[in-house]
Structure 1
Amino acid sequence: MSHVSIALTPEQQQLETAVARFAARHAPVDATREQLEALAAGTLPPWWADLVDNGFHAVHLPESVGGQDGGLADMACVLEAAGAALLSGPLLTTAVAGAVAASLPGCPAADTLLKEIAAGTPAVVVAAEHAQLRGCRDEHGWRLTGTSGLTPGLCSAQRLVVPFADETGARLWVVLDAATVEVESRRGTDLTTDLGILRLHDHAVPGAATLTGLDADRVSATTVAFTAATAAGITQWCVDAVTEHLCTREQFGKPIGTFQALQHKAAMLLVNSALATAAAWDAVRALSAPDPDQHRLTACSAAVMAVMPVPGLVLEALTMLGAIGFTWEHDLHLYWRRATSLAASVGPVARWTRALGELSSSATRDVTVDLGVSDADFRARVADVLDQALTVSDKGFGRQGDYPEFSVGARRELLADAGLIAPHWPAPWGCDATVRQQLIVDEEFGKRDLVRPSVGIAEWILPSLIAAGSAELQQRFIPATLRGDLAWCQLFSEPGAGSDLAALSTRAVRIEGGWRINGHKIWTSLAHRADFGALLARTDPDAPKHRGIGYFILDMRSPGVESRQITQSSGRAEFNEVFLTDVFVPDDALLGEPGAGWQLAINTMAHERVAISGYVNIDRMGALRELVRTSPDPDPVLHAIGEIDAYTNALKALGVRETLRLLDGQAPGPASSIAKVATNVMLRRAAELTLGLTGPLALESDSRPPVVAPYLDLPAELIGGGTTEIQLNIIAQMILGLPRK
């Protein structure tokens, strides 16, 4: 499996596997093809009773009504697996109806509906935005007139949850027995699901059928979340299908998966699939939150990131499969049709981007992880230190720069001595904090509005020093760096190597007592201010490309070290090229063995990528938010803000998911590489939208709010930590397993 799944826990993974096996046994796609006409007419698939016996349709319903007593996330896993397997019929619509009814405890009509659904009765919820139904009271309840609009799953449903407006314009919901109404069947885009329109004229509905207290926004959020889970399954099928094809299809005597263009397209498909999965998962997760704004925020994001783009992603998969994917015999067109239908059922996309743009002015996605009451003693110790920190102050900025996180003085020393600047590091520099404890530290800083100190670039370097440096080196460098007394730089990139780091040519020749180093480094951030640098140099020119590389700690004041600042297009000069001429580095400044530097460098870059993916937490829309307040036509700006926020929320969800995986004791996944690529896409899109909408503000380099200044600094973020293209190579070869040349 090369895709990213909604399932996080082993139990959820087993649930998805069980659904996939059920589909393979009872509903293979070949069998579904034979049933297309019957499915379009609303006939239940022949395996429906077996699915009900397994309880898959009622995983999320209370045990008291006959359900499995699982959570909404468990149902999302079922729907994701069903989407990947092209499981036909009314599973999605019935799952939505069950979740909607379960949100109304104490409502008799909802309780009855839940019992019926758990027993196997298929159901559907008519979308409020599509329905045009009005109701008038009579002595027994309501009389309804109007139409439902096009509704997937309407013909196969036996219970219909229908919205209508009463005489005052208020929206109410009732449950209808499909046997008492007529439904007009329509030919649907999705060949595996029926489509119909309900038309009512003075139809009598008993008052007891009213779903009291049902909220239209809750219905919409639930529908989008479950639809997104199904769509995520489709993207995952595409990733797996494309990966298999690229590994087996040959042209010019080799697998086409060796072609870099196809590797990059496949890697981007995985990135977009991962974002869709994260957005769908987050929308489902938010339904358990008490704040309705969180429901709406995540529903908007899921619609934009996990439902609306999926037809295009399937089409992208088709282009990689080639002409074979464009044939009726290939299954892809069935997935394509379903993806198109799902997107149409919640569209248009402008509805969601505008709504999210409006919401973002007053609400943000809460990505806090509930840590419960565990590690209470650790939390108490952290709280005590931070309370003490509030009573003292720093004296000014340190060596790393003039930002609050680089302040030095009594407060920083107190936090450093307590191990709270880098709590995940081992004692005595950190406190050996687990993932959960690191989150506790973050929470406690946040509660006090305390700026958490940073060691800057050293955050990427010192873990290698901890892993491979001598006790003397560790004691010399780590405490002083934590106090802010030392600044660092990273001497990796070279003019002739670019992103191909292993092709470096800087030479380190062993001499008495150490090494003589000659070479040329470039794009070295803050080298002109650094006291020390992490330096890669080739110690064995005859060794294979990724071997024979040493990882050195270089004193930037050593004879033969010359730094020249590089002025960027923005006018700033934060980068440097560094010339090394017969520079002596003592033996004890070599970390590990002379040829072990490559793995240490990989570890450093992994820390760098994680740090750079944190750019998602920086607000990129200051100019757009100001424009909303001042523009006579804010509508295009709201759409732009909504688009960027949807992408940002999906990225945040990706990070939260990885955190939860680590909390569960699982090994790190591919999130850092995926997040780096996705962050670059988001940064470029945000810049394009800002430039396109702010107009004359971009004429002035120092405009307020700033437009051009952050745009001209954008390359540093896009290139730092490895270009997008290099990350796509990593994703294609290391995650998808596509063949190397």
Structure 2
Amino acid sequence: MSIGISDEHVELASSLRKWAADLRGRELARAAEEDPAATFDTAWAALTEMGVPTIGLPEAVGGGGTTLDVAVALEACAHELVPGPLLGPAVAAAVLGEIPEDAVVALALGDVVWDAPSATHVLAEADGGWRLLPVDAVDLTPATGIDLSRRFGRLVVRDAAAGEPVAVTTDLVRRTAVTLAAAEAAGVARWCLATAVDYAGVREQFGQKIGSFQAIKHLCAEMLEAAESVTAAAWDVASAASDDETQWAFAADVAAAIAFDGAVEVAKSCIQVLGGIGFTFEHDAHLYLRRALTLRALVGDSDEAAERLTAAAVEGVRRRVQLDLGGRDEAVRAKVRATVERIAALPVGEQRAAFVETGYLTPHWPAPYGLGADPVTQVVIDQELARAGVTRPDIVIAGWAVPTILEHGTDEQRERFVRPSLLGDLVWCQLFSEPGAGSDLASLRTRAERVDGGWRLTGQKVWNSVAERADWGICLARTNPDAPKHKGITYFLVDMRNTPGIDVRPLREITGKALFNEVFLDDVFVPDDMVVGAVDDGWRLARTTLANERVAMATSRLSTSTERAVELAAAGVTPAQRVAVGHSIALATVCSLLGVRSTLRSLAGQGPGAESSVAKLLGVRNRQDGAELVVELHGDRAVLGDDEAVRDAVWELLNTRCLSIAGGTTQVLRNVAGERILGLPR
């Protein structure tokens, strides 16, 4: 998915990519390989005719677009590697607000001039301030550098007085440069990902398409994770340009910490997937690696950005993305606010029942248990709950069990289970995984044999949280051993308290505590009326959810461990540790941004994008790495165990190791992402 989410931005990106492809930028770059003074005039003429460099200028001077519009355009042009001046003039236009007619304004950050041979003017620091200098007031020495599609050069100012003073700051110029360069990084990452996936889908080795090899599949899935991170950061910093300065600066540092290293890694991985052909000069992949390396060199060190993020977070800054509902909330806002205020006024012990009565506990569920709420209403409810400081109760495993009962159960099952589960009167556990059927759940061996009036279940389940206190369990068991493994499975509801033959044994984990259990089923009777859906159709039920999915409003808080790392940074850590904390802040912020983008797609009436799948993978890494970082920040105190905060940190580190296993291992999820999102062969 590209930076743009709205229908207008999706259309803009698509049309510009098609247009930019006709410019044959890669061919132009190759043709000018040995010419340090190449200006790529034909590409620039096409760009100016299309109005790309001036999209972000005020409407009165030929623009009228937002910074996000500019970012969408730059991403599309970078995807096709449009050569010559574009990024520098776009940054200059954004900073200046207007540019001289027919001018090509190059940007000088330090001694390096962007788009040196093409320049008619240079925006540079001179005599203690920023000036717009005519090219005859400076000496420019162009060179052919890493990026063959652009020309840079060195700057010597001969006559600063000939330039017009400009009321901008270095911070503003650099922040704008990061904002728009991040959009180009997203375009580079997108092309590299698509190129690698396309090749992996057709190239054969050992009699198979290489995309079917798990190593290649995982590499492509990792590229997807990086590309989505780059895109989310680029989208956010462009969106934040219209926000207050503190928020924009924070978003820019997240982009600087994520986007450019990410684009370089995706470009390198693209060459790796391509193999020998990717290492040849004839293939275009190296041109994109060159562009990615150049962007990273131009905008500064990611560690410096990470350190600034730590400093900002210590001062209480967090990225707070405001969802623009476009007035669609006006019809429901007043009613929602009144209902939330009524819930908030109740004693805490009475609030849960009020949540259930109003449908606000599960607003995405159908009435009478929810509201059948559309995405806008769901977001408004979340916003008003946050404003009132009221937390929605967590229904835990019931959040998996009850939707299946609602969608596939009988009226009697719905009457018996749904409302008590929402009220918290019934506690559920999940009896799915087995010692030999974890990620490959369809290989389960627990058998269900038909008897008079129901079924007898025999087998072993594992990793069952709250089974020791659950009232009911949702259980998958094999009812037809002769059917293919995804068939012949049935979905049962098991009475955990009143059924003989159930043995729940605590399973002590690496933390030393027992949060999970293993459950042994020995000839456990389940009556026919506790079968959900059709016999032998349980696998389909286990994989379905309600059509009206939950839309959540992302929080501005970082992950728990990252917040703790910020607290420790405030108390004093080494410079290297401050950088590590900053990178954790950047990753945690990107994870939140992926959620925001997914919500915006729902609000736009679109299906889920890759963000929802990538968010799980990145979220696991964020929580695991963050927990490990906190222990590292405690230093040698971690070995003593005589401090409660240190003990908690060690417990969190150990406990989060389960996250890359539970709910499908990271490796299996990357297989799924490779096949279902990227379309790689099985």
What is the TM-score of this pair, normalised by structure 2?
0.95
Q: 2:666 aligns with which of 724, 733, 736?
A: 724
Aligned partners of 2:232 and 2:593 also within 8 Å: yes
Aligned partners of 2:364 and 2:549 also within 8 Å: no
Q: Per-residue displacement from partner, 1:58-98 (whole Å, max 9, x unpaired)?
A: 2222321112x222212111111111111111111111111
User: For residues 137 and 263 of structure 2, what CA distance do their matches in structure 1 show?
Assistant: 36
The one-letter amino acid paired with 1:101 is L
The one-letter amino acid paired with 2:358 is A
- 1:353 pairs with 2:280: no
Aligned to 2:46: 50
User: For residues 368 and 637 of structure 1, what CA distance do their matches in structure 2 show?
Assistant: 31
Aligned to 2:485: 545
Aligned to 1:181: 138
The one-letter amino acid paired with 2:195 is A
Aligned partners of 1:389 and 1:414 also within 8 Å: yes
User: For residues 70 and 556 of structure 2, what CA distance do their matches in structure 1 show?
Assistant: 33
Q: 2:71 aligns with which of 72, 76, 79?
A: 76
Aligned partners of 2:624 and 2:657 also within 8 Å: no
Q: Secondary structure at the match of 1:283?
A: helix
Aligned to 2:153: 196
The one-letter amino acid paired with 1:352 is A
Q: 523-532 or 178-187: which moved more?
A: 178-187
The one-letter amino acid paired with 2:352 is R
Aligned partners of 2:446 and 2:457 also within 8 Å: yes
Aligned to 2:166: 211
What is the TM-score of this pair, normalised by structure 1?
0.87
Alpha-carbon distance, 1:659 to partner? 0.7
Mapping of 1:276-287 within 5 angstroms?
Answer: 276-287=230-241
Q: 1:341 aligns with which of 294, 304, 307?
A: 294
Aligned partners of 1:609 and 1:673 also within 8 Å: no
Mapping of 1:689-704 within 5 angstroms?
Answer: 689-701=629-641, 702-704=643-645
The one-letter amino acid paired with 1:41 is A
Q: Secondary structure at the match of 2:534?
A: coil
Q: Secondary structure at the match of 2:617?
A: helix
Total equivalences in the alignment: 677
Aligned partners of 1:125 and 1:161 also within 8 Å: yes
Q: Secondary structure at the match of 2:509?
A: coil
Alpha-carbon distance, 1:431 to partner? 1.2
Alpha-carbon distance, 1:518 to partner? 1.3
The one-letter amino acid paired with 1:368 is Q
Aligned partners of 1:468 and 1:591 also within 8 Å: yes
User: For residues 228 and 218 of structure 1, what CA distance do their matches in structure 2 show?
Assistant: 15
Mapping of 1:510-589 within 5 angstroms?
Answer: 510-557=450-497, 558-589=499-530
Aligned partners of 2:319 and 2:556 also within 8 Å: no
Mapping of 1:241-640 within 5 angstroms?
Answer: 241-289=195-243, 291-362=244-315, 363-394=317-348, 409-557=349-497, 558-603=499-544, 617-631=558-572, 633-640=573-580
User: For residues 25 and 622 of structure 1, what CA distance do their matches in structure 2 show?
Assistant: 48
Q: Per-residue displacement from partner, 1:476-534 (whole Å, max 9, x unpaired)?
A: 11111111111111111110112101111111223332222111110011111111111
The one-letter amino acid paired with 1:44 is F
- 1:153 pairs with 2:89: no
The alpha-carbon distance between structure 1 residues 484 and 516, as it changes in their structure 2 partners (threshold 3 A), is same
Aligned to 2:612: 672
The one-letter amino acid paired with 2:649 is V
Aligned partners of 1:616 and 1:651 also within 8 Å: no
User: For residues 383 and 609 of structure 1, what CA distance do their matches in structure 2 show?
Assistant: 20
The alpha-carbon distance between structure 1 residues 660 and 630, as it changes in their structure 2 partners (threshold 3 A), is closer
The alpha-carbon distance between structure 1 residues 70 and 608, as it changes in their structure 2 partners (threshold 3 A), is closer
Alpha-carbon distance, 1:42 to partner? 4.4
Q: Please, which runs of 5 or more residues in structure 1 have no aligned partner?
A: 103-110, 131-148, 167-171, 395-408
Q: Per-residue displacement from partner, 1:118-148 (whole Å, max 9, x unpaired)?
A: xx53223323xx3xxxxxxxxxxxxxxxxxx
Aligned partners of 2:407 and 2:546 also within 8 Å: no
User: For residues 452 and 550 of structure 2, what CA distance do their matches in structure 1 show?
Assistant: 37
User: For residues 249 and 712 of structure 1, what CA distance do their matches in structure 2 show?
Assistant: 41
Q: 2:55 aligns with which of 39, 59, 73?
A: 59
The alpha-carbon distance between structure 1 residues 122 and 199, as it changes in their structure 2 partners (threshold 3 A), is same
Q: 1:126 aligns with which of 92, 101, 108?
A: 108
User: For residues 330 and 671 of structure 1, what CA distance do their matches in structure 2 show?
Assistant: 30
The alpha-carbon distance between structure 1 residues 253 and 614, as it changes in their structure 2 partners (threshold 3 A), is farther
The alpha-carbon distance between structure 1 residues 79 and 285, as it changes in their structure 2 partners (threshold 3 A), is same
Backbone CA RMSD of aligned residues: 2.3
Aligned partners of 1:297 and 1:356 also within 8 Å: yes
The alpha-carbon distance between structure 1 residues 693 and 492, as it changes in their structure 2 partners (threshold 3 A), is same
User: For residues 467 and 221 of structure 1, what CA distance do their matches in structure 2 show?
Assistant: 50
Q: Secondary structure at the match of 2:522?
A: strand
Aligned partners of 1:367 and 1:652 also within 8 Å: no
Q: Secondary structure at the match of 1:26?
A: coil
Q: Per-residue displacement from partner, 1:234-283 (whole Å, max 9, x unpaired)?
A: 11111111111111111111111111111111111111111111111111
Mapping of 1:635-646 within 5 angstroms?
Answer: 635-646=575-586
The one-letter amino acid paired with 2:225 is V
Alpha-carbon distance, 1:616 to partner? 8.4
The alpha-carbon distance between structure 1 residues 623 and 25, as it changes in their structure 2 partners (threshold 3 A), is closer
Aligned partners of 1:42 and 1:153 also within 8 Å: no
User: For residues 532 and 105 of structure 2, what CA distance do their matches in structure 1 show?
Assistant: 65
Q: 29-38 or 344-353: which moved more?
A: 29-38
User: For residues 380 and 170 of structure 2, what CA distance do their matches in structure 1 show?
Assistant: 36
Aligned partners of 1:606 and 1:672 also within 8 Å: no
Alpha-carbon distance, 1:187 to partner? 3.1
User: For residues 393 and 661 of structure 1, what CA distance do their matches in structure 2 show?
Assistant: 37
Q: 45-54 or 244-253: which moved more?
A: 45-54
Q: Please, which runs of 5 or more residues in structure 2 have no aligned partner?
A: none
Aligned to 1:715: 657
Q: Per-residue displacement from partner, 1:205-246 (whole Å, max 9, x unpaired)?
A: 35xx2223x243332222111111101111111111111111
Alpha-carbon distance, 1:725 to partner? 0.7
Q: Secondary structure at the match of 2:161?
A: strand
The alpha-carbon distance between structure 1 residues 623 and 177, as it changes in their structure 2 partners (threshold 3 A), is same
The one-letter amino acid paired with 2:6 is T
The alpha-carbon distance between structure 1 residues 604 and 665, as it changes in their structure 2 partners (threshold 3 A), is closer
